[in-house]
Structure 1
Amino acid sequence: MAKTKYVYFFGNGDAEGDESMRSILGGKGANLAQMAKKPLSLPVPPGFTISIDVCQEYYKLGRKYPAGLDKEVAEYLAKLEKSFGKKLGDESDPLLVSVRSGAAESMPGMMDTVLNLGLNDKSVIGLATKTNNERFAWDAYRRFIQMFGNVAMGVDHDKFEEIIDEVKAVRGIKEDTDLSVDELKTIVSKYKEMYKKEKGEEFPQNPQEQMWDAISAVFGSWMNPRAITYRKLNNIDENVIKGTAVTVMAMVFGNMGETSGTGVGFSRDPSTGENHFMAEYLINAQGEDVVAGIRTPMDISALEKQQPKIFKEISTIRDRLEKHYHDMQDMEFTVQEGKLFMLQCRSGKRTGPAAVKMAVDMVAEKMITKEEALLRVKPDQLDQLLHPQFDTKALKAAKPLAEALNASPGAGCGQIVFTAEEAVEWDKEGKKVILVRKETSPDDIAGMYVAQGILTSTGGRTSHAAVVARGMGTPCVCGCAAVVFNAKDKVTIGGKEFKKGDFISIDGSTGRVFGDVIPVTPAAVSGDLETYLSWADEVREKSVRTTPSGKKVNGFEVKANAEQNEAPQAFRFGAAGIGLCRTEHMFFEEPKLTSFQKMIISETTEERKKNLKEILPLQEKDFYGIIKTMEGRDVTIRLLDPPLNEFIQAETPELAAALAKKLGVSIELINKKYAELNEHNPMLGHRGCRLAITYPEIYETQVEAIARATAKVEKEGLKHDVRIMIPNVTTFAELKQIREQAEAVIAKVNEELGTKLKFQIGSMIEFPRAAATADKIAEYADFFSFGTNDLTQTTFGFSRDDYSKFIDSYLDQKILLQDPFKTLDEDGVGVMIALAEEKGRSVKSDLHLGICGEHGGDPASIELCYKLGLNYVSCSPFRVPAARLAGAQAVIKAKK
């Protein structure tokens, strides 16, 4: 049996892996290997990567390593030492290494890193002598103790910071770079004293032990809270992305003086997508200083003046990497005494607007195809392009308190909070917050996710705060020196003091900060987004697939769930039609509500019809508005769905008295009707088509209003395509009876107005019985629309109103892998849809099928709907652009 290979080498112009091995080496390891070997052959320090397989074994074995790994690592460490000409732990010329994480999917800052590993009390002296740079050696040792002590041994980061701040305060200095050799030695001594007090033992001096402790810490960080949170927030499937690799690489040093430095760059602007090199650089520093935002770096353009040769070299590498990977690259590099080294490259995180612009530009540059471009943007990223922006007039009138680095675009307005925990807590209370920090750390991920915006006093456009904010689409302003923290819960911004809870606004597009609430205006689909989505529409329109039941289906549309006031927005966002117009929403508006309430409390059919007659012209006006707005696109109008008790608010004596007064009836009548209408389980009660069976005049009035509105639109010479949908159908007999009643009303209107109106009449499929008898229902239906909210409830037996009490436990324990009310359950609900598709189309091969539940805007659910042969999905207007893209991606993935 062949020995399992766990470790892979890279360096000196060759490597055992390449970019195709992300699932084994992780993104970092795979890309380092690719950069090291031909055709790129870039200057990469040598090292080795311990595979993701080890991470899986590590957790399976109870945080222990598989047999033979220790020998394999020792073999590859010896190879690294030979390649670099130094030995780990050598007292006169020590090899120092970094130990870094790298999953197959980029998770910036979420897992751990240790730098300068291999230093101890003896080798630090050898390093100082060998480099003839005592300050560099002691600064490296100080950094190592702090990072290793925190990451590998669990000592609180703040305890190290307190010591260094105390030493700086004695001499009144602000920057770490101003510390003298003696001060660095003092800090190292104090660090070790504090470490012994915290851990009850001396700081580890054996470099081999240090290395294994660091490797274990990196593997352990796969399951740290921030990494778990990041995977949840970014829908990273742990069944696909199964762990992290660990890369051990020879250290090169950016903190060896004025000809050394470190930088992070993006081959295109990750905020805007503009095709220019956006990079930042720190002289005499290590990479963590840039990423952590501890110091605010300078723009890469400054390097062109200081070290033109290095600037030219890194600019050339930027172009080569982008051409090789056909994508925007995020790269880390270090300059050691005038020599450039590449430490990392990966496809860079970017905002939604930047992702769209890059995709469109790269197609124009013939770097990628349209289909490749359509797979480059996550559907949820499009939401960022549709977020409201600050009102132009209000923005011109507002006076900024400060201006700093525009790290992530967008308008953010909210109340100031100073910790991630406060942000989460206030968000739960429904408050909108701006997270204000000196700098953010990976542990702040949950607070950053819920914040309307992020403002930091230090750090640049490549800091942790900026990178994570861009990935989330959260507005961010970084490196704002005008932000001064006075005391707990107080901050001064541009000379004005603010306390926790005060409102500020930030503009992530310009970097400006305001001390006021600035109004916002809605966005529109235009420019690059319009071009991009037109490609998506083209792919969906031309799509052809065969359903599981063997039927051929052409095209895949995206419609909107909308009423009259939302229809224009749906139209602007590119909806092909209205897949669900909820008529009950219209009844909640006055004066219709009063007339409808009078109808509900009516004691006789005649009285009910009289009150419905008052509603008829009002409903007709609503329907006319939406049909006209959609300019010939189809409009599917669902007849009344909810139970009548939702319209009678009489839970308390005060509410009953107010309603009685409003309707001009006795309190006794209100209480009587409320008692009659009250149900133990209204979701499965007297609602939808059941109302039409007991009170046919309700649906008859609605159908008449639809017919008259359509006739009016037709008379004006305008196009129309109106469809009528019946909810809550469980048996063909319900639909048959209601269809006959509706057709009789339509015939009556045609006779009166001299029109020849025809309407498609379809059924919602919301219950397992409806799916199981879809062949019988199809005999009386022109189309099916799956109400997946109720279909999920009735298939699972979960109440959507109550399932929150247990769903988190189900997800945490992996009893369910997805929340079934957010993403369609393929194994249960999906089977019901497939059954209805097969049975329905066995009767009518051209039966039109779609969904109109909340799932219609979920990318994974859209992919399933395409696979099952549905003709369309319908979602809220603001999800339409994302659904247009998700639908196209489903088509492209199905081809592959």
Structure 2
Amino acid sequence: MLSTPDFTEITPTAEVRTSTHGNRAKCLQRLVRLDLPVPKTVALRFETVRAIAGGRMPDIRALLDVFGQGALLSVRSSSQMPDWGGPGTILNIGMNDEKATELAATHGQSAADALYVSFIRAYAVDVLRLDADPFEGPITPRLAKSAFEAEMDEPFPQDPCEQLAEVLKSMARAWEGTTARLLRQAQGAPADAGLGLVVQEMALGIGQGLSGSGVVQFASPETGEAQVTGRWLPQAQGRAALSETDAQFIVSDKRGKSLEDVAPEQVAALKSAGALMRQRLREEMQIEFTLMNGHLSILDAVRCPRSGRAEVAVAVALAEDGIITTDEALLRIPPFTLNQLLHRQVSPIAARDVLTRGIAASPGAATGKIVFSASAAQAMAAQGEPCILVRRETSPEDIRGMHAAQAVLTERGGMTSHAAVIARGLGLPCVTGATRLMLDSRKKTLTVPGRKIFHEGDVITVDGSTGDVLAGAAEMVEPALGGAFATLMDWADAARDIGIRANADTPEDAAMAQRFGVDGIGLCRTEHMFFDPARLTVMREMIFAENPSDRAAALDRLLPMQRADFIELFQMMQGQPVTIRLFDPPLHEFLPGDRDGIRALAEALDLPVSRVQSRIESLQEFNPMLGMRGVRLGVTVPEIYEMQARAIFEATIKASRKGAPVVPEIMIPLVSARREVELVKGRVDAIAAEVRSKTGQDFTYRLGVMVETPRAALRAGEIAEHSAFLSFGTNDLTQMTYGLSRDDAGRFMSAYVQQGVFPEDPFTQLDVDGVGELMHLGADRGRRARPDLIISICGEHAGQPSAIAFSRKAGFDYVSCSPFRVPVAKLAAAQLSIQDKNLPVDPKVSV
């Protein structure tokens, strides 16, 4: 073994480390330790490669002496992490006139010529960066050398030392280039990340006997199931087998020729090598190999590329086989990978005709016909036709249309706009902020600049995982919620140490939440129950009522509807907590905004159009999100909250008769002052006493506050005196802390993030410094006043791993997120708990 400060021959005992020589070098040493047939290899340290980039070369002659006279070599990059990339591989270094003559005698003239031309082309184009055109086409070595001399004004170099030195310099300098540095930093690499290089003796893959190259793996890249996949190309080098149209299968296949048909022993050896790597490297590996005159060489092995579904299946299978622990399996899955299992996705091999790109607001993908209104979506759904609801922005009026649609696309909005929040709750793909779209709802057209005009009924595909809007119908991959996914969720539940609830507004939402195994409902937004057409008219009658008694009469008609909703919800979540937020939005959201809607409402209420128009105008506000909504309605129009409290308590009594007692949690929205809580609590308690007296039944309930205003966080100590729980609504809390509209911030947020004003979009990632400080203050002050106070997050941030980390550290009891974010939240919570045990993260090898 030869070892110098600059390079080291890879042997079982050599000092080779990932931190000094890179991932590939270390992996090759592991393969050597497993006694696999790896060609002789030398590893160059990060420091050596940096020195080469700066002009100081190692002893090239000494390096070549490791391989002996006349050896052909390859050079591959070896970055510390595989995702950080690196320059492409250069093959057949050392090829010259003398070696070509020698190979012609042993391998035939055509093979020798092919190897020589291939190296001249790679050396000229990839190493010296010459124009590729003179070296294209079926040319001979003589013509290739002539083209090289014409470009360089010097003969093609014959000295292997010179060839290898130029290759090393080219790769070292490419790594230091600006483009390469930015690309790897985008993958999480530090600015000063080093590059190692490995110099390996060529296993040619070209010969008169059975020769060629291939790539094989033993788990399906799509599903993760045990399956031999890969390609093999006779008389070839490198990874050409992956792309050549005449490449063959590895194992016998009725679709065409295979390596196993002619070399069953070599395929058996590959299978044995794969099984050994799986057991000892504790991972499914992809093997790059060559055969030369029937002799197998393993050139490299990398973690096999795979989809999110395969990622989960492989990790679970390794744990079930006892190769890794369940904790390690959980740590190997990036939480957001689960989105690929929970939703339909555009197939990774599908053609993508991208019309425009917006904000990826809710994951998954769907294809359907364009519709421009909620009523059109419902009509389309009634005919069994999938549709995409396209709106400038959605409002609560669009809820039914969103239920009917397969996906939602909006011109405006961001990650926490109405469309995004509701779509995530429904599990609908959603793209918001597609500002390049020109929507004309009156003409029912959608124009994409530079493309055709789309009309209602035209088919598009919305990819909420990437933000892409595609023309036509794209090929899809279906979700997978059983098998390995279910097992992983069981392990996550056993490992996590914080509660995970779901935001659920309907029984359908609750059913989905139960499917994912939640700890209860952390937010039920009751206003969404009022947009059913049968209820909307009654709701509008209540809004138009002139006095409390008329309002109460209209609310009496809504009471049984609300009660039925809550009975169904409580029965579905029997024995688990359900937090119901009292009515929150401004009243004008329930009123029509167009002439046809106003005329229809006037007819329904038997009122003059002018009076309806006047009433609607009187309810308009300059800034409705900061106006007459939430607890302010509960204080000034108390009949609404009284009706809801009565419906909750009557439903509690009825639902408790058939199972475990229901303990509802009633949440007051948009609180800013203790007195608001006192007023609402007094009325809710009075309704509870009235229901107990009337029914003769006792029940328990909790009353708490949704902390959405900075003042509520700052005054949490006095608010907690009247509250059993505080739940931070981080959507509005972020909006009010920053003074930003979450629906409009998308117009400039990317520029702010790019220029470093904000590290991340605060509506996407919880701002732990600003908003988080308010939450810390609120939690600390609240618990000082009431030590048993339950504290949680119920805003859209709650499904984010960073917000869960914040909540655990702050001692919160649970987080509550959209049902389809529950698995992501569970996995993130489990990983954080495991990491707190100081276990090593992803210890993949035992050799």
- Partner of 1:591: helix, strand, or coil? helix
- Partner of 2:550: helix, strand, or coil? helix
Q: Does 1:776 align with 2:721?
A: no
Q: Does 1:261 align with 2:256?
A: no
Q: Does 1:574 align with 2:517?
A: yes
In structure 2, the residue matched to 1:274 is 225
| Superposition deviation, residue 247 in structure 1 | 4.0
In structure 2, the residue matched to 1:74 is 58
Q: Deviations over 1:582-624 (max 9, x none)?
A: 1111112121112112222333333322222221111111111
Change (3 A) 1:255 1:735: farther
In structure 2, the residue matched to 1:464 is none
- Partner of 1:679: helix, strand, or coil? coil
In structure 2, the residue matched to 1:114 is 89
What is the rounded CA distance, in whole Å, between the counterparts of 2:665 and 2:715 in structure 1? 22
Which of 752, 775, 789 is equivalent to 1:833?
775
Q: CA RMSD in A?
A: 3.9
Change (3 A) 1:8 1:268: farther
What is the rounded CA distance, in whole Å, between the counterparts of 2:191 and 2:53 in structure 1? 26
Q: Deviations over 1:35-84 (max 9, x none)?
A: 34x46575243132452x789xxxxxxxxx5689543x423x44431111
| Superposition deviation, residue 115 in structure 1 | 2.1
Q: Does 1:720 align with 2:671?
A: no
**One-letter code aligned to 1:844:** R
Q: Do the aligned residues in 1 keep the contact of 2:121 with 2:144 (CA within 8 Å)?
A: no
- Partner of 1:821: helix, strand, or coil? coil
Which of 689, 701, 705 is equivalent to 1:763?
705
Change (3 A) 1:775 1:270: same
Alignment of 1:420-569 (within 5 A): 422-423=353-354, 425=356, 525-540=481-496, 543=497, 555-569=498-512
In structure 2, the residue matched to 1:679 is 621
Q: Does 1:16 align with 2:12?
A: no
Which of 583, 593, 613 is equivalent to 2:556?
613
What is the rounded CA distance, in whole Å, between the counterparts of 2:659 and 2:358 in structure 1? 50
Change (3 A) 1:251 1:846: farther
In structure 1, the residue matched to 2:425 is none
TM-score after normalising by structure 1:
0.72
Q: Do the aligned residues in 2 keep the contact of 1:597 with 1:648 (CA within 8 Å)?
A: yes
Which of 170, 180, 184 is equivalent to 1:213?
170
Q: Do the aligned residues in 2 keep the contact of 1:334 with 1:341 (CA within 8 Å)?
A: yes
Unaligned segments of structure 2, at least 5 residues: 253-257, 369-406, 408-428, 430-457, 462-471, 839-847
| Deviates further, 337-346 or 624-633 | 337-346
In structure 2, the residue matched to 1:136 is 111
Alignment of 1:87-126 (within 5 A): 93=70, 95-100=72-77, 102-106=79-83, 111-116=86-91, 118=93, 122=97, 125=100
Q: Does 1:358 align with 2:314?
A: yes
In structure 1, the residue matched to 2:38 is 43
- Partner of 1:775: helix, strand, or coil? helix
- Partner of 1:32: helix, strand, or coil? helix
What is the rounded CA distance, in whole Å, between the counterparts of 2:671 and 2:549 in structure 1? 27
Change (3 A) 1:672 1:127: farther
| Superposition deviation, residue 192 in structure 1 | 5.8
Q: Do the aligned residues in 2 keep the contact of 1:640 with 1:688 (CA within 8 Å)?
A: yes
**One-letter code aligned to 1:254:** G
Q: Do the aligned residues in 2 keep the contact of 1:118 with 1:211 (CA within 8 Å)?
A: no
What is the rounded CA distance, in whole Å, between the counterparts of 1:429 and 1:11 in structure 2? 46
Change (3 A) 1:678 1:356: same
| Superposition deviation, residue 790 in structure 1 | 1.7
Q: Do the aligned residues in 2 keep the contact of 1:27 with 1:104 (CA within 8 Å)?
A: yes
| Superposition deviation, residue 257 in structure 1 | 5.0
What is the rounded CA distance, in whole Å, between the counterparts of 1:70 and 1:14 in structure 2? 31
Change (3 A) 1:676 1:579: same
Q: Does 1:794 align with 2:777?
A: no
In structure 1, the residue matched to 2:180 is 223
What is the rounded CA distance, in whole Å, between the counterparts of 1:153 and 1:426 in structure 2? 38
Q: Do the aligned residues in 1 keep the contact of 2:41 with 2:198 (CA within 8 Å)?
A: no
TM-score after normalising by structure 2:
0.76
| Superposition deviation, residue 740 in structure 1 | 1.4
Q: Deviations over 1:751-777 (max 9, x none)?
A: 111121221111112232222222212
Change (3 A) 1:135 1:721: farther
Change (3 A) 1:70 1:189: closer
Change (3 A) 1:674 1:257: farther
Which of 335, 342, 346 is equivalent to 1:379?
335
Unaligned segments of structure 1, at least 5 residues: 56-64, 87-92, 168-182, 389-409, 435-451, 453-473, 475-500, 505-514, 544-554
| Superposition deviation, residue 340 in structure 1 | 3.0
Which of 235, 244, 247 is equivalent to 1:284?
235
What is the rounded CA distance, in whole Å, between the counterparts of 1:78 and 1:121 in structure 2? 17
- Partner of 1:15: helix, strand, or coil? coil
- Partner of 1:557: helix, strand, or coil? strand
| Superposition deviation, residue 723 in structure 1 | 0.9
In structure 1, the residue matched to 2:829 is 887
Q: Deviations over 1:214-233 (max 9, x none)?
A: 333345486388x46xx86x
Q: Do the aligned residues in 2 keep the contact of 1:768 with 1:832 (CA within 8 Å)?
A: yes
Q: Does 1:251 align with 2:193?
A: no
- Partner of 1:84: helix, strand, or coil? coil
- Give aligned pairs, total: 725
Q: Deviations over 1:434-483 (max 9, x none)?
A: 9xxxxxxxxxxxxxxxxx9xxxxxxxxxxxxxxxxxxxxx9xxxxxxxxx
Q: Does 1:588 align with 2:535?
A: no
| Superposition deviation, residue 891 in structure 1 | 0.8
**One-letter code aligned to 1:682:** P
| Superposition deviation, residue 148 in structure 1 | 5.7
- Partner of 1:579: helix, strand, or coil? strand
Q: Do the aligned residues in 2 keep the contact of 1:281 with 1:300 (CA within 8 Å)?
A: no
In structure 1, the residue matched to 2:68 is 85
Q: Does 1:749 align with 2:705?
A: no
- Partner of 1:566: helix, strand, or coil? helix
| Superposition deviation, residue 105 in structure 1 | 4.3
What is the rounded CA distance, in whole Å, between the counterparts of 2:581 and 2:5 in structure 1? 59
| Superposition deviation, residue 567 in structure 1 | 1.2
| Superposition deviation, residue 258 in structure 1 | 4.7
Q: Do the aligned residues in 1 keep the contact of 2:52 with 2:169 (CA within 8 Å)?
A: no
Alignment of 1:311-326 (within 5 A): 311-326=267-282
| Superposition deviation, residue 318 in structure 1 | 1.8
Q: Do the aligned residues in 2 keep the contact of 1:222 with 1:243 (CA within 8 Å)?
A: no
| Superposition deviation, residue 300 in structure 1 | 4.1
Q: Do the aligned residues in 1 keep the contact of 2:116 with 2:141 (CA within 8 Å)?
A: no
What is the rounded CA distance, in whole Å, between the counterparts of 1:204 and 1:817 in structure 2? 51
In structure 1, the residue matched to 2:371 is none
Q: Percent same amino acid among aligned pairs?
A: 31
Change (3 A) 1:520 1:244: closer
| Superposition deviation, residue 202 in structure 1 | 8.5
Q: Do the aligned residues in 2 keep the contact of 1:641 with 1:727 (CA within 8 Å)?
A: yes
What is the rounded CA distance, in whole Å, between the counterparts of 2:134 and 2:526 in structure 1? 63
Q: Does 1:368 align with 2:324?
A: yes
Which of 631, 645, 650 is equivalent to 2:588?
645
In structure 2, the residue matched to 1:630 is 573
